[in-house]
Every structure is written in C-alpha cells, then in structure tokens.
Structure 1
Amino acid sequence: MVRVSNAIIAFLNFLTLIVAVVGIGAAVWIQFNPSATLCQKVLQKPFVILGLSLLVVSLLGLIGSCFRVSFFLWIYLTVMFLIILGVLCFLFFTIIITNKRVGTALSGKGYKDARLGDYSHWLQKYVVNAQNWDQIKSCLIDIQLCQHLANGKNADFYKHSLSATQSGCCKPPTYCGFEFHNATYWTTPKAGPAVPHQDCKKWSNVQTELCFECESCKTAVLENLRKQWKKLAIINSCILAFVLVVYSVGCCALKNNSRSRYDKYRGGFYP
C-alpha cells in the first residue's frame, strides 16, 4: 500500500512538474521574443506565478513520495489544503459575479445591445477601469478584430456574420442610425444621430479607434467575459475534484509512511 500511494503521488507530481516547466518556458519566450504582442505580454506574469507555484508544489510532492520524507509530505498536504480552499472560494466568487441577467435588447437588428448596469459591479470595476480597458483595447487592436470586416458590402451583413464583440466594437450601435459605407466606415446623417446617446458621439472612422471606447464595446466584452467565467466555473469544479483525489492519496501516503517507519522500528515487516 505504501508503494502504491507513493507511486501515484510521484506520477501526478511529475505531470504537474512538466506543466510548471512549460509555463515558465512560455514566460521566458514572451520575455525574449521581440515580436510578442501586448496580449501575450499580459499572460507573462500569470505564467510565471503558475509555473513557479506548480514547480514548488511538485518538488515537495516528489521528494516526499519518492524518498518517503514525511516532513515534505506534511508541507505538500498543507499547501494542497490551501489550494482546495482557494479553488472553493474562487468557485463561489465566480458563480456570484456571473449570476446576472443578460442585457435587454435595444434593437431587433444585430447583436442584442446590453447595458453595463446589467453586470456585477466587480466585473464593471475590473474591466471598464482606465488601466485594464486600455490593455483590453490594445489587445483587440493587436488581433485586428475589425480589419477583415472591411469587405462587408451592405449594412445587413452584421445580422449574421459578426460576433458579439465585433458587433459592439467594430460598428456604431444600431440605434445611432448611421449611414453605412463599409463594415468599418459609417457616417453621421445630416440630421445627426437618431438618438442622443454618448456612443454615437464616440464612434470614429479611424481604424484604431472605431467604437472601442463605446459602452456597447465594453458591454460586449463583459458579456463575453461572463460566459468565459461560467465555463471557468465548470473547469474549476473539475480541478477541485482532481485536487481532492490527490489530497486523499497524499494523506494515505503520509499515513502509510508513518506506519512503515513504526513497523520498521518494532522490527516488523510492512509490505
């Protein structure tokens, strides 16, 4: 039993060690890659934190299981217990901030325009603040979110060909009543916007600006983020189940290590 539980812990931690090395390697590649985009550079810090954390935990588990050092297993299990608590808290947090109703459609055309107020205060504060939004906007520009839309030939193309983010960021809101020229070039009617909404004033035909500062763009990003976090909640549930299994096996390994040493001290034999 000692060998089985220790072998399982060693194997699982060997896998996480590989993941740690890959994460650290990705961070190093981003650091020294001159062509790395801002979106990629944003991922550098999470890769480093994740990689170093997994590296430390994996080494603790490997040393404790392969060499049957109970002290390292104690530290390993303590860290694993903290991880379980952290994943639980994050899971509840994710469920709470994403459990908000989707915005009400303001028009029957295109993507359903939602309001920022339809999302949790935390999501609004985290995404829409100046620093984070500048980074998100830079990423949207870097990936050329709107560039390939320039071939659109009529104003109805967005009904079926645009994603939610493209609809919110690459064209003026439908309720503005702007005149279509191409996918990313719209002009204000002589009589002015159909409604006096701030997004109608923020629209720009400059290709690096468009509607990236519009509420419709920020709302579309929030909606996409809300959906992604719901998927993340499901992934977190799977991770939690996996960590609980590993923690249970680790507890068995620690218990069996202690029992093995006790039997050896008494001169007995423990298979």
Structure 2
Amino acid sequence: MALNYLAVAAINFAAALLSIPVIAAGIWLSTQPDNACVQILQWPVIALGVAVLAAGLAGSAGAFWRLPWLLLAYLVAMLALVLALAGLAAFVFAVTASSSGRPAPGRAFLEYDLDDYSGWLRARLDAPGRWDRVKTCLAATPTCSDLNQTAAAGDAATAQGFFAAAWLSPLQSGCCKPPTRCGYTFVTPTYWISPVSPAADPDCAAWSNEEAKFCYSCASCKAGLLQNLRGEWRRADIILAVDAAALLAVYAVGCYAFRTAKTDELFRRYRQGYT
C-alpha cells in the first residue's frame, strides 16, 4: 500500500515537471521584442505553467503524506488546468490561423496586409491608446537599427541589393521602410525620398525618415507585427499542445494509481476488521 502511494506521488511529481516547458515557453515569448511590447500571451502561459507546477507538487505531497483531501483537490485542480491549457492551445491556433505575406513587384521580401489577420488580434492592437504604447516600445527596440547594420555588412546597402533581400523579418518589412506601393526612392534601408506625387494611402503619408517614427504609425507595421507574433505564437503553441496531451496522459495514470491505492487500503482495512 505504501508503494502504491509512492507511485502516486512520483506520477504527480512528473506532472509538476511537465510545467517546466510551459513556463519556459512563456519566458521565451517575454524575451522576444515584439511580444515584450504587446504583452498578450506570455503572462497567461507563465501563469498556467506555475499553476500546474503548484498543483503537481501539492498532489505529490498529498500522496507522500497520504492526505486524501489534498489528493482530491489536486485531481480537481489538475483536470481544470489541463482543460485550460488545451483550451489556450486551441485558441492560439485559431487566432493565428490567418496569415499574410504578399510579394511586391521587383522585391524578394514580402509585405503584409492588416486585413488578413483575425479580428481578435487586430482588436488587441486597436484598443484605445494601445498602439501608441506598442509603437513607442517598438521604436526603442533594435529592430530597424539591426536592419541597417545587416544591410551594411552584406550586399543590401544598395537599392538592388536591398530589393533582393529575402531575409527581412515581417516586423522590419512593415515598420522600417515605406510600403513598395508608395513609390519612395531608396537611399538606405531606413531613409527614403518621397515621390513628387505620393499615393493616396495613409501609410504613404505616415512614413517618416526620423528614427523614432519610420513607419510605426502605418497599418503595414501592425501587419508585420502580427505576422511576427504569429510565427512565435505558433512555436509556443506546439509546446502547449504537446504538454496538454502529456499532462492528460499523466493525469489519467495518476487517477488509476490513486484508485488502486485506495482500493488496496480499503481491502487492507477489511482484512484487519475480518481478522
């Protein structure tokens, strides 16, 4: 009987260990400049990971010290957390299902359209005052300065070389240069000469050669940000989905082991009473 409870404790401890990838995914998201500016997904992921860790340790302690009330609380809490984790993984998959990235004439890099993304994601950026804070944060990141340095170190310092640069990130494509349709003339990757007759497009009027402005007020910048977020969220979502499946399997084994331990205990008490 003691061995059965030790097995339950070990299984519950394994559930606690499964929180580590979830917490790591949340921390990784928080270290990405775009996610650090938006702050939507990383904190729910970290909070869920910490909750799974706490529940797993509580369940392990309850089994080790044979505290049925704590074990029952663990079973209820862990089931809720597994469902929450699976629900979050499904939600992230759903809101990132839409993608963008369209070729521009004479360009190797892609450009992005805000209307291609889910309404939920766009609403997060368009909340009152939200984009002002996000674009200020983005302007403080090395996103565009890295573009200049990479271009200068390679063969993208000229117009021909820059237009052939397929390595631009969505965020750099959307925020650090004017959209191709605006007809600006290349000088450097982040310095462009306005055409005599600019296109009647809000993004074309929003572009500025000032480092603090660039195209951070452009819809193309929002689209590039969402494409960047999509790639990072999809990678984190794989971890969430796999972890939820593993936790469900461990939870099922833990329920079986707990039931076996309780059955053995009842049988032992019956035998003691009979003798």
Instruction: Identify the residue that residue 11 of structure 1 maps to in structure 2.
Output: 13
Q: d(CA) in 1 for partners of 2:180 and 2:23?
A: 48
Instruction: Identify the residue that residue 197 of structure 2 maps to in structure 1.
Output: 192
Compute the displacement of 1:71 (Å): 1.4
Is it true that 1:215 corresponds to 2:219 in the alignment?
Answer: yes
Q: Percent same amino acid at aligned positions?
A: 33
Is it true that 1:39 corresponds to 2:43 in the alignment?
Answer: no
Compute the displacement of 1:121 (Å): 0.7
What TM-score results when the alignment is normalised by the length of structure 1? 0.78
Q: 1:111 to 1:210 in 2, by over 3 A?
A: same
Q: d(CA) in 2 for partners of 1:196 and 1:137?
A: 23
Q: 1:249 to 1:132 in 2, by over 3 A?
A: farther
Q: d(CA) in 1 for partners of 2:202 and 2:22?
A: 46
The more displaced of 75-84 and 104-113 is 104-113
Native 8 Å contact 1:103 1:113 kept in 2 = yes
Compute the displacement of 1:168 (Å): 1.1
Is it true that 1:243 corresponds to 2:247 in the alignment?
Answer: yes
Native 8 Å contact 2:112 2:220 kept in 1 = yes
Q: Aligned AA for 1:39?
A: A
After TM superposition, the structure 1 = structure 2 runs for residues 124-143 of structure 1, keeping only pairs within 5 Å, are: 124-143=122-141
Q: Deviations over 1:77-118 (max 9, x none)?
A: 111111222233223323332222535445341433232111
After TM superposition, the structure 1 = structure 2 runs for residues 102-181 of structure 1, keeping only pairs within 5 Å, are: 102=100, 104-150=102-148, 151=152, 153-156=157-160, 157-160=162-165, 161-181=167-187
Q: 1:119 to 1:235 in 2, by over 3 A?
A: same
Which structure is richer in relative contact order (CA contacts within 8 A, separation 6 or more)? 2
Is it true that 1:182 corresponds to 2:179 in the alignment?
Answer: no
Q: Deviations over 1:43-72 (max 9, x none)?
A: 995587346524531332122221122211
Q: d(CA) in 2 for partners of 1:183 and 1:58?
A: 51
| Number of aligned residue pairs | 254
After TM superposition, the structure 1 = structure 2 runs for residues 84-95 of structure 1, keeping only pairs within 5 Å, are: 84-95=82-93
Q: d(CA) in 2 for partners of 1:108 and 1:137?
A: 28
Native 8 Å contact 1:173 1:199 kept in 2 = yes
- CA-based RMSD of the aligned residues comes to 3.4
Compute the displacement of 1:40 (Å): 8.5
Q: Aligned AA for 2:10?
A: I
Is it true that 1:77 corresponds to 2:75 in the alignment?
Answer: yes
Structure 1: gaps (5+ residues):
31-37
Structure 2: gaps (5+ residues):
none
Native 8 Å contact 1:2 1:253 kept in 2 = yes
Compute the displacement of 1:261 (Å): 2.3
Compute the displacement of 1:75 (Å): 1.0
The more displaced of 168-177 and 83-92 is 83-92
Compute the displacement of 1:266 (Å): 2.1
Instruction: Identify the residue that residue 34 of structure 1 maps to in structure 2.
Output: none
Q: Deviations over 1:238-271 (max 9, x none)?
A: 0121111221122023212312321331246xxx
